[in-house]
Amino acid sequence: MTVRPRVLERPGLDHWEARVDLAAAFRWTARLNMHEAVANHFSLAVDLEGIRFLINPNQMHFSRIRASDLLELDADDTDALSRPEAPDATAWGLHAPLHRRYRHARCVMHLHSPFATVLASFEESILPPIDLNTATFFNRMTVDEALEGLAFEAEGKRCAAMLTDPRIRIMVMGNHGVLAIGDSVADTFNRLYHFERAAQTGKPLRLMSADLAERVASEVERYPGQAERHFAEIKALLDEEGSSYAS
């Protein structure tokens, strides 16, 4: 098979590399079957303040999203939902408050991935530290136990208020799904990928001590380049297949 070189820019569209990264994340999430129909959404800030962000078009399947399809929105735009190419209302409701409020939420990914959603449906949605994956999230996740319906703007603001601690990068959304935030597409996708793996737990469990779990979490945080290499390999695989995500 002839490998098609990845397109590096597209005339008339800003933030091309950011678009390409986000499109690759959509495609790979669909490949892993971590998405649910057309109900989930990813966003990425493209300005220094984090107010302008890219997000998937309204209810478009992850497996078809291209870099050129992504919407660029302003979190302070009060008319965003009334414009011709408006985003999904729950995507706006969940992502806009996060980009508006937190600079550390450069990238926001929300999924109803199978294992994380089951975890979110348990009476106690804890993720005990039983291996390296689960310990990665020790003291670095929060559980929302106060679901108030679909993630329209009021619900999105309520959820955003739970992420003031910049160390908390995963929210288990009780009876709903999972939300991850991060510094980049690679950082956030890597976190979401490993959280889904970590959620594949059962009982009874052998728990790590708090000291050991904290040590593992700290070591993973300092481990160099893993997220970037993981995501670079995903894009390389897509490129080798001649995927259209970078178009």
- Residue 156 CA, distance from chain mean position: 15
Q: What is the pLDDT of residues 32-49, one digit of tens each?
A: 999 998 889 999 999 999
Task: Kindly list the domain boundaries of the chain, sorted by start residue.
Answer: 16-239
- Residue 241 is predicted with a pLDDT of 93
Question: Where is 53: in which H helix or E strand?
Answer: strand 52-55
Round to whole Å and give the CA distance between 91 and 211: 38
| Rg, the chain, Cα only | 18
| Residue 6, pLDDT above cutoff 90 | no
Read off the pLDDT of each residue in 93-113 and give the average, rounded to a whole number.
97
Given a cut of 80, whether residue 148 has pLDDT beyond it is yes
> What's the confidence (pLDDT) of residue 2?
42
pLDDT at 171 over 90: yes
- The residue-averaged pLDDT of 132-145 equals 95
Q: Evaluate if residue 192 carries a pLDDT over 70.
A: yes
- Determine how many CB atoms are found less than 10 A away from the CB of residue 189: 26
Tokens read off for 214: 């904290």
What six digits make up the tokens of 230?
Answer: 């993981």
Length of the chain: 247
How confident is residue 222, by pLDDT bands cut at 50, 70 and 90? confident
Spatial CA neighbour of 14 closest among 62, 86, 72, 69: 72
Fold entry, domain 16-239:
L-fuculose-1-phosphate Aldolase (3.40.225)
Residues contacting residue 247 through CB under 8 Å, at least 6 positions apart: 7, 10, 66, 67, 68
Beta strand 107-111 with 41-45: parallel, antiparallel or unpaired?
antiparallel
How many helices (H) and strands (E) the chain has is answered by 8, 7
Q: Measure the CA–CA gap between 107 and 218, rounded to whole angstroms.
A: 21
Predicted confidence band of residue 203 (pLDDT cuts 50, 70, 90): low
Given this model, what pLDDT does residue 186 score? 98
207 has pLDDT over 80: no
Cβ neighbours of residue 173 closer than 8 Å, sequence gap 6 or more: 110, 120, 144, 147, 159, 179
Confidence of residue 81 (pLDDT cuts 50, 70, 90): very high
pLDDT for the residue 87: 95
Task: Answer yes or no: pTM beyond 0.75.
Answer: yes
* pLDDT value for 48: 95
